[in-house]
Amino acid sequence: MAVVLISKSPSVLVKPSSDPATSAAITDYLSLIGLTSYDEPNVGRPVTAFLVFDRPIDDPAETIRQGLSLALVPYYPISGRLATAFLACDVLTAIDCTGDGAGVPFVAASADAALRDVDLRGHLEELAVFYPAAGDPLLRPLLMVQVTVFSCGGFVIGVTWDHSIADGAGMGQFLRAIGELARGMPSPAVVPCRHDLSLAGMPSAFVRVNRLVNSLQPSLLTLLHLAVPYSLVSRIRQQFAAAVNGGHPCTAFEAVAAVLWRCRTRAVMSESDPSAPALLGFVADTRTHAGARDGYYGNCCYIMPPVGATSGAVAGGDVVDLIWMIRRAKERIPDYYNSSMDEEDEDGRRLQELADAGLLGYGNMLGVSCWRNLGMDKVDFGGGTPARVMGYMKEGMGRLPCCVCLPCEDGGDSFSVTSLCVKEEHAGAFLRELASLA
């Protein structure tokens, strides 16, 4: 692979192309938008995604900059800043849409090599703008964008955002809107909604799960880029369908999650005895269950109360059986919104008991999220959809060992997974377990 030099131009601040307050596209303009119970826990949490386009368009940086400026009219909160708000005796965090310095920092960059000659995984830190390691979230932009054009004409757009403004599905919706407006559409195909008073509050079980995850002691984890073969996933899906007497196959995500759960549990078994818990937490989009309005792009994707089993049962179990556990957990999502508070929080209390007993940590928990249905692979700035979507995970300390399933690559023969879920001493065993299933 070629050594690549990436040159960046000075950052410019992109603002809405017209005043959102007077735009005909805005019917419910608000200068101060309160965060929901789903948004609040994500304040100051950065997320970075990369969309790789191998087909040239005319002046990618300027095309995307103009599309961004147009999209920031209907999506005006994204150009705002977080601020402290006061409601009666409560101190809240809100999005200030009128403050000085509002806008999205935008960087145009160029690379002196062709995309096909570069291993992008070794250059991700040069392909986006990142927040400083320390700093007040109230003083920084909610979104930053970099467009890097390669010598072949292909380009990479790197987007970094504060998770409080949007979850992955919401950011995918916004990026598609930039593409639509950059291609000349008069308005986005989806009318955006950020202020939604009808949104149901976050179930207490979700609150407890995410609080406990944030309280875990960090572990030094190794970054791995994994490939789960299509052939393996297809075989597992067929086995699952056969096990339910000719029923529908499981989803690809359920198959991949079960594989990762079993392989990781086997790799770290030395850290725990077979009777110790092995928990799988997965991120679910609960928009439908929370009653979110169409076009809502705030947060509604959260870690569910984890699927629970013993380490021995997961390590020695059949993958089909693990899929059934995951499937049953997914089917329970509506219950968290329909049951009484006491029934709703039973899973949360059970998890708290494990935490109090010192049974939550590196050897016992795995989180899995999926970017395959976020819509980022549908973004089109004029030359077609991305050949690849990548996430950013920095090797080092992590609280929840996790894996992210990424959209499929064009022409690939496997599902791409970015993993920060094992320590270095367990990485070899984890990779061998994956290889043994292929």
Confidence of residue 217 (pLDDT cuts 50, 70, 90): confident
Q: What percent of the chain has pLDDT over 90?
A: 68
Confidence of residue 86 (pLDDT cuts 50, 70, 90): confident
90 and 136 in a single domain? The answer is yes
Q: What percent of the chain has pLDDT over 70?
A: 95
Domain-ending residue, one of 133, 149, 182: 182
Question: Is 384 among the domain residues?
Answer: no
Query: Quick one: average pLDDT of 157-180?
Result: 97
Question: Is 432 among the domain residues?
Answer: yes
292 and 407 in a single domain? The answer is yes
Please give the residue that has the higher pLDDT: either 342 or 234: 234
Which value, to the nearest 10 degrees, does the dihedral of the CA atoms of residues 382, 388, 391, 393 take? -140
Helix (H) or strand (E) holding 32: strand 32-34
Residue 395 DSSP class: S
- Contacts with 50 (C-beta within 8 Å, 6 or more apart), sequence order: 120, 124, 127, 128, 156, 157, 158, 159, 388, 389, 390, 391, 392
Radius of gyration over alpha carbons of the chain, in Å? 22
This prediction has a pTM of 0.94
Most confident of 123-137, 173-187, 408-422: 173-187
74 and 177 in a single domain? The answer is yes
Inform me whether the pLDDT recorded for 244 exceeds 90. Answer: no
263 and 324 in a single domain? The answer is yes
pLDDT in tens, 381-394: 999 999 999 999 98
Domain-ending residue, one of 182, 217, 251: 182
Domain containing 10 — which CATH number?
3.30.559.10
Domain count, the chain: 2
Inform me whether the pLDDT recorded for 342 exceeds 50. Answer: no
Inform me whether the pLDDT recorded for 233 exceeds 80. Answer: yes
85 and 222 in a single domain? The answer is no
Lookup: tokens for 158: 């790197």
129 and 59 in a single domain? The answer is yes
Question: Is 40 among the domain residues?
Answer: yes
Give the model's pLDDT for residue 120.
Answer: 94
150 and 219 in a single domain? The answer is no
Residue listed under structure tokens 């594989």: 259
121 and 227 in a single domain? The answer is no
Contact between 404 and 372 (Cβ < 8 Å): no
Task: Report the catalytic residues.
Answer: 163, 380
Question: Is 379 among the domain residues?
Answer: no
123 and 233 in a single domain? The answer is no
Question: Is 383 among the domain residues?
Answer: no
Inform me whether the pLDDT recorded for 186 exceeds 80. Answer: yes
Contact between 145 and 158 (Cβ < 8 Å): yes
223 and 318 in a single domain? The answer is yes
Which value, to the nearest 10 degrees, does the dihedral of the CA atoms of residues 180, 182, 187, 189 take? 10
CA distance 101 to 82: 12
293 and 349 in a single domain? The answer is yes
Question: Is 378 among the domain residues?
Answer: no
Residue 46 CB neighbours (<10 A): 16
Backbone φ and ψ for 431, nearest 5 degrees, come out as: -65, -35
Contact between 96 and 31 (Cβ < 8 Å): yes
Question: Is 193 among the domain residues?
Answer: no
Q: Domain range holding 156?
A: 6-182
Helix (H) or strand (E) holding 129: none
Least confident of 127-131, 319-323, 351-355, 427-431: 351-355
For the chain, the average pLDDT equals: 91
CA distance 417 to 413: 13
Question: Is 42 among the domain residues?
Answer: yes
Closest by CA position to 95, among listed 166, 1, 12:
166
pLDDT in tens, 275-331: 889 999 999 999 999 999 999 999 999 888 899 899 999 999 999 999 999 999 999
86 and 234 in a single domain? The answer is no
CA distance 368 to 277: 17
